[in-house]
Amino acid sequence: QVHLSESGGGSVETGGSLRLSCSVSGNTDSTECVAWFRQAPGKERERVAALSTVGHPYYADNVKGRFAISQNDAKDTVYLQMHNLNAEDTGIYYCAAGDVECGSWYVRFNDWGQGTQVTVSS
């Protein structure tokens, strides 16, 4: 079991920035991917960014150029730096741990954080 905990959410105006943090701990031996998801009421959960443990990033098309995923040197924190936020970015953001490389069809996200709310006002 991997324990993940998000922080850094809040309310910002359109065009603003936020940096989310995901603390990763516990039994991480099999973790090869940490991903950020978001979900708004009535909408499907969407993967917005992912980072393999060897440092390969992935981004959803609608956040490319605005969001950046990274990790600290100790590899126990994954960040999501968000710029130029707009109302479509509003939602609860979760981080999750996957057992295989992020780009694999077989990736499964079995462990999730509690979520942090991001609200972007116009």
| Chain segment 1-24, per-residue pLDDT in tens | 999 999 999 999 999 999 999 999
Q: What pLDDT sits at residue 111?
A: 97
Q: What pLDDT sits at residue 54?
A: 87
Q: What pLDDT sits at residue 63?
A: 98
In the chain the first and final C-alpha atoms are separated, in Å, by 39
b (16+ CB within 10 A) / e for 41-79: eeeeeebbbbbbbeeeebbeeebeeebbbebeeeeebbb
Place of tokens 């100790």: 74
Q: How confident is the model at residue 122 (pLDDT cuts 50, 70, 90)?
A: confident
Average pLDDT, the chain: 96
Q: Rounded to an integer, what distance in angstroms lies between the CA atom of residue 115 and that of residue 122?
A: 23
**Residue 32 backbone class (left: φ over 0; alpha: ψ -120 to 50; beta: rest):** alpha
DSSP helix/strand/coil, 33: strand
Percent of the chain with pLDDT over 90: 93
